[in-house]
Amino acid sequence: MTGAEPLEHYLDARRADVETALRAWLPGPPQAPAVVATAMRYSIEAGGKRLRPILCLAAAESVGATKGLSAADAREVAMSAACAIEMIHTYSLVHDDLPAMDDDILRRGKPTLHVVAGEGMAILAGDGLLTEAFGLLTRTTGTAGASPDRRLRAIAVVATAAGACGMVGGQALDLDAMPRPGVPAGAPLDADGLRRMHALKTGALITASAVVGAIMAGGDAATEHAIRQAGEHFGLAFQIVDDILDVEGTTAGLGKTAGKDAAAGKPTYPAIFGIEESRRLARRCITDAEAALEGAGLHHSRLAGIGRWIVERVN
């Protein structure tokens, strides 16, 4: 249930919970050499909306409510997974910003990690975040602790979403669509190609965030299916809005370089459909997500509000 707490308060509270847990779970000296631990912390603590972990916690709450779990217990049981996903997301940003990929100097309002720590250390910090994430996924958190079977399923879902069948695959399609030194570009992406690339690159981890929250909170197969459908719609809406913000946002407001996609001639939703149609498509994704949630009796949960946040966000 959403209760009376306004969405903004809920988001702020969950962001604070996630950041406290991340601080506690990130490795530090003396076990981890300070140089790489500091680099990992730099990118995690640079901020960000924490959309994925919040989505994971909200999915756990909504499913947990159907299993008699309090909202706080459901969040606790999903917290390690939520933080693991944020670590994987942050690694993807660190690697995406490298000169060999998107070559950017600003992320989350701060100089990118390779700018402050060098390319080699940025690669290692990304590797460290990815690896730590899977260690974290094995941990039980909360008094209601997810069973080993559920934790194993969560690991499989996250691995598929982050690997070559998900985020890495999508990034490869994105990279291949543009010419790069010594390698000709692959075929340009049309609307279907763009949708698939984004479904893998951005959508898969967003979807997994919601699915893993449902798994950790004890969801059955039908509920997990509905959450997956809603997560896929959320993921596409997120990406369409990201493309719109790249056109309409400012570098200061976004905390990353605005207008890069257009400058690079990248295929984007506004480039293919125009801004107004892109906005309509994003809104339709949220309507579709709400229908999927309604089918599973989860439409009164926080998830619907998070859908609206995804389309209304300004950064």
Q: Which of 96, 132, 224, 290 binds ligand GRG (CB under 6 A)?
A: 96
Q: What DSSP string runs through 39-107?
A: HHHHHHHT----HHHHHHHHHHHHHHHHTT--HHHHHHHHHHHHHHHHHHHHHHHHHHTSTTTT--SEE
Among 43, 171, 229, 278, binds ligand GRG (CB under 6 A): 171
Q: Which x/- pattern, by CB under 6 A, does the window 7-46 give for ligand GRG?
A: ----------------------------------------
Q: Minimum Å distance from CB 73 to ligand GRG? A: 26
Measured between alpha carbons, how far is 233 from 31 in angstroms, rounded to an integer? 41
26, 78, 154, 167: residue in contact with ligand GRG (rule CB under 6 A):
167
- 25 vs 224 by CB, closer to ligand GRG: 25
Q: Which stretch binds ligand GRG (CB under 6 A): 22-30, 86-94, 111-119, 189-197?
A: 86-94
Nearest CB to ligand GRG, comparing residues 79 and 296: 79
* Window 191-250: residues binding ligand GRG (CB under 6 A): 201-202, 242
In the list 26, 37, 40, 51, the residue contacting ligand GRG (rule: CB under 6 A) is 51
| Greatest CA separation for the chain | 58
Place of tokens 């997810």: 146
- Helix and strand numbers (H, E) in the chain are 16, 2
Residue closer to ligand GRG (CB basis): 108 or 150: 108
CA dihedral 227, 272, 166, 163 (to 10 degrees): -150
Instruction: Single out the segment in contact with ligand GRG by CB under 6 A; choices: 14-22, 28-36, 165-173, 220-228.
Output: 165-173
Both structure tokens of 127 = 């590797």
Q: How far is the CB of 168 from ligand GRG (least distance, A)?
A: 5
Beta strands 110-111 and 106-107 are antiparallel
The distance from CA 283 to its chain's CA centroid, rounded to whole angstroms, is 19
> Counting contacts by CB under 6 A, is residue 95 touching ligand GRG?
yes
Strand partners, 28: none
Binding site for ligand GRG (CB under 6 A): 48-49, 51, 89, 92-93, 95-96, 108, 167-168, 171, 201-202, 242
